[in-house]
Structure 1
């Protein structure tokens, strides 16, 4: 169905989502429809996605759907100003994941796709601070690794160093 590496991330993400938001719930997922949108629907969630708008230029798009829960799975690292989007969200619950900054690897950048780049890779305290400054109270958080099946020092470090940070927050 899906490649093994995103599948591990998807499994961790859906397990976290199920812990903090019960299905059936309607979710407004930031980002275009993707394989994870389908996975959420398989678990009983109703999912609406943004339409590919540039959220840096149009942060008000997050008000398009009137829902209780907004999700943002690996979205904020692509934005120059995630502060503006987080501040505009009117939903009362947020479930988000971001890649953590790894001291042994530079930020991800695709050489062929100008949108597939990370402007931010966060340390957990940075993302927590961003959420707090935009009116969110963190209720639950979790980290997980993202091992790759290659030989070398970095692949070994990836087995033990958390790569993803998941947060459930509520509007204060």
Structure 2
């Protein structure tokens, strides 16, 4: 199906985790504009709609009006200044979300050409767990994986065994 090498390792791990918890009959609202992974979910039989590119720090209309069973957020929350707010507004009772983890040996990501492609937050796993719990979610499952790069050096070596991605499946505990 998808190669188990970077960059598709992330997609394969994300898809496996999603399939473990979410059936294809459950409608999904994927936070963020349509992207390669939302297309992969559709190819796997999921009914997926995406938000329209609005600033999810201040505009929750897509989340509030959605009747989806599940919200997915794959590498979205690190771009928001206040992810707590949109997490509180989600109406679905299931959430599958992944984030890049903060790495002690690498600065937060910041695109040199796209002012929107920046990481305001790079969480440690406990910080993301706390954010979810405080915003009304109960984590039912979690996983981590590495993101090795094909370069020489100390940081590429560290990336081969230091988890970079963290994914959770959570259910709503309170509204």
* TM score, norm. by length of structure 2: 0.94
Question: Could you say what the CA RMSD is over the residues aligned between the two structures, in angstroms?
Answer: 1.3
Residue aligning to 2:82: 81
Are 1:10 and 2:26 counterparts? Answer: no
How do residues 88-107 of structure 1 correspond to structure 2 at under 5 angstroms? Answer: 88-107=89-108
* TM score, norm. by length of structure 1: 0.96
Residue aligning to 1:112: 113
Aligned 8 A contact 1:72 1:97 in 2: yes
Residue aligning to 2:49: 48
- Give the C-alpha shift of residue 42 in structure 1: 1.1
Instruction: Write out per-residue CA displacement over residues 43-102 of structure 1, whole angstroms, 9 at most, x where no aligned residue.
Output: 110000000000012134312310110000000000000000100001000000001000
Instruction: Write out per-residue CA displacement over residues 114-154 of structure 1, whole angstroms, 9 at most, x where no aligned residue.
Output: 01000000000000000000000000000000000000000
Aligned 8 A contact 1:60 1:85 in 2: no
Q: Which runs of 4+ in 1 moved over 6 A?
A: none
Distance in 1 separating the partners of 2:122 and 2:49 = 26
What 5-or-longer segments of structure 2 have no aligned partner? Answer: none
Distance in 2 separating the partners of 1:6 and 1:149 = 11
Distance in 2 separating the partners of 1:32 and 1:76 = 14
- What secondary structure sits across from 1:41 in the alignment? helix
What 5-or-longer segments of structure 1 have no aligned partner? Answer: none
